[in-house]
Chains A and B, each alone.
Chain A
Amino acid sequence: MAAPVVSIAFNKTTFAPGEQIVLTVTHTDADRVALVVETKVTDSNGNVGTVSGTVQIDQGTATVTSVPAKSWVLQSQTAGQAVFTTTA
């Protein structure tokens, strides 16, 4: 039942009007687990087929707001990091 731990970083601190602001949101969560599930199928001849996939347990979703309001666009996202941009 842990809450996410969040940190944010900007590409710089001062922007000229029209410049791109890049915000990187990094987050962790004690409950978060990347669960790797592997399924193995064996036929009567002994042939084995394997498939695996990963699911995130307690995945975090990042959103951004600002004052004054701006339109923040999600550029990339991984399990622990989201990158947003807007225009200064």
Chain B
Amino acid sequence: MSTLTVTAKVTDKQGNSTSKTGTVTIDDVPARLLVVGASSYKPGSANRLSSAQDLDTQLAMIAGVQKPVMKFWHAYNSSLPGSFSSSAVGQCIANGWGGMLNIRDTPGRIRTPAGSAALFSFLSSVPASLPVLYLIWAHEPENDGMTTSEQAVWRADMAEFIKTVIDFGNPKIIPGSCFMGDPPLSWDLFNYVPLLRAGDQEKMIFFFDAYPKCRTGPNRTDDPGFKYDDVANWARAHGFTRLGVGESTLNNDVNLPQSHVDQWWNIKLPAWLNANPDVEVFAVYDATGPAAGTNGMIDQPGELQAVANLMRFGV
């Protein structure tokens, strides 16, 4: 946001003049800067933000950030149904924020009557007051060790989930898939696309973790961002018109050194986003934290400043 200060001056024939000043606001925040939020509610994580107040406190630490942000909880739900209608959405509603639910399901479950009913029930429970809710279906194949047959089930579930949410018809509820894996290991999972209908991709978001990374395995790398173009181009080529990045930018799983993280935030990610203006940004402020002792929270001065720099950069 920026302010335009306008002064009108009226001068009469005698030389008397009077001025009046007013201001208007120019909402020049790029549309793609959608959300700054916090991951939370992941079971078993001890040092995640515990309340909206925590998030406000930490956002306030980002000195000089003037742009408004759409705060949201990036809630993590391990399965359907069960915890699906979690208190995370309740937090979003209570705070007037948007929401993002990161869903992980047991293969095959979404297409059971119980799973389908749970999803539909949840969709029906989302109040009109919620600004937007991103329902992101995620998986980490290399971490979860799915077999080939399980991946086929997962793909079918994924497509069913997306179609169900689209057909529900609430434009505030946007389905998506989260690319959390390591290309090319994850490519096969994303072959759910042929199971979609024409035009479905345009009604969802293809969301990939802040850097497609090699968390484990032979392709692990210390060069964050190296696969960004691969993933974005793959998604575009497959009909996705909304791409998003975010979440685990400072991924703790790989335990990158701080200098590396700083370079990512301050140089590589801004540069890549600048070259890809169609990509939306989620959760650039990521409070994701592991259970203990690693570098997940953006709670150091350098990290906070890097976030501020990224926001000022215009992403």
A-to-B contact residues, CB < 8 Å: 1-8, 10, 12-17, 21, 23, 25, 27, 29, 31-32, 57-68, 70, 84, 88
- Residues of A contacting B14 in the complex (Cβ-Cβ under 8 angstroms): 1, 31, 58
Identify the interface centre among B7, B12, B13, B16: most chain A CB within 10 Å of its CB.
B12
- Residues of A contacting B8 in the complex (Cβ-Cβ under 8 angstroms): 6, 8, 23, 25, 62-64, 84
Given contacts A5-B18, A10-B24, A15-B27, A66 and B4 within 8 Å (CB-CB): yes
Q: Is the CB of A15 within 8 A of B25?
A: yes
In the A-B complex, list the 5 residue pairs whose CB atoms are closest, starting with the nearest: A3-B16, A4-B10, A27-B10, A25-B8, A6-B20
Q: Is the CB of B25 within 8 A of A13?
A: yes
Q: Is the CB of B6 within 8 A of A23?
A: yes
Nearest chain B residue, comparing its CB with the CB of A14: B25
Q: Is the CB of B12 within 8 A of A31?
A: yes
- Residues of A contacting B28 in the complex (Cβ-Cβ under 8 angstroms): 16-17
- Residues of B contacting A10 in the complex (Cβ-Cβ under 8 angstroms): 6, 22, 24
- Residues of B contacting A6 in the complex (Cβ-Cβ under 8 angstroms): 8-10, 18-20
Size class of B's contact patch?
20 to 34
Query: Closest Cβ of chain A: how far from B176's Cβ, in Å?
Result: 25
Q: List B residues 273-295 near A (Cβ within 8 Å).
A: none
Q: Is the CB of A17 within 8 A of B6?
A: no
- Residues of A contacting B9 in the complex (Cβ-Cβ under 8 angstroms): 6, 62-65
Please report the C-alpha to C-alpha distance between residue A17 and residue B31 in the assembled complex, in whole angstroms: 11
Query: Closest Cβ of chain B: how far from A59's Cβ, in Å?
Result: 6
Q: Is the interface of A mostly helix, strand, loop or mixed?
A: strand
- Residues of A contacting B10 in the complex (Cβ-Cβ under 8 angstroms): 4, 6, 25, 27, 60-63
Q: Is the interface of B mostly helix, strand, loop or mixed?
A: strand
Nearest chain A residue, comparing its CB with the CB of B1: A14
Q: List B residues 281-313 near A (Cβ within 8 Å).
A: none
- Residues of A contacting B53 in the complex (Cβ-Cβ under 8 angstroms): none
B-to-A contact residues, CB < 8 Å: 4-14, 16-20, 22, 24-28
Query: Closest Cβ of chain B: how far from A19's Cβ, in Å?
Result: 9
Please report the C-alpha to C-alpha distance between residue A14 and residue B12 in the assembled complex, in whole angstroms: 31
- Residues of B contacting A62 in the complex (Cβ-Cβ under 8 angstroms): 8-10
Q: Is the CB of B16 within 8 A of A8?
A: no
Q: Is the CB of A14 within 8 A of B27?
A: yes
Please report the C-alpha to C-alpha distance between residue A17 and residue B28 in the assembled complex, in whole angstroms: 6
Please report the C-alpha to C-alpha distance between residue A63 and residue B25 in the assembled complex, in whole angstroms: 21
Q: Is the CB of A65 within 8 A of B7?
A: yes
- Residues of A contacting B12 in the complex (Cβ-Cβ under 8 angstroms): 3-4, 29, 31-32, 58-61
Given contacts A2-B16, A3-B12, A31-B14, A13 and B24 within 8 Å (CB-CB): yes
Q: What would be 5 A-B contacts, judged by CB atoms less than 8 Å apart?
A: A3-B17, A4-B16, A6-B18, A8-B20, A66-B5
Please report the C-alpha to C-alpha distance between residue A62 and residue B17 in the assembled complex, in whole angstroms: 9
Q: Is the CB of B11 within 8 A of A60?
A: yes
Q: Is the CB of B27 within 8 A of A16?
A: yes
Please report the C-alpha to C-alpha distance between residue A4 and residue B17 in the assembled complex, in whole angstroms: 6
- Residues of A contacting B22 in the complex (Cβ-Cβ under 8 angstroms): 8, 10
Query: Closest Cβ of chain B: how far from A41's Cβ, in Å?
Result: 30
Query: Closest Cβ of chain B: how far from A32's Cβ, in Å?
Result: 7
New A-B contacts (10) at CB < 8 Å, excluding given A1-B16, A25-B10 = A3-B16, A4-B12, A5-B18, A6-B10, A6-B20, A14-B25, A29-B16, A62-B9, A63-B8, A66-B5
Nearest chain A residue, comparing its CB with the CB of B2: A68
Q: Is the CB of A67 within 8 A of B5?
A: yes
Query: Closest Cβ of chain A: how far from B305's Cβ, in Å?
Result: 26
CB-contact partner of A15 in B13, B17, B26, under 8 A:
B26
Please report the C-alpha to C-alpha distance between residue A70 and residue B4 in the assembled complex, in whole angstroms: 9
Given contacts A3-B17, A3-B18, A60-B11, A14 and B24 within 8 Å (CB-CB): yes
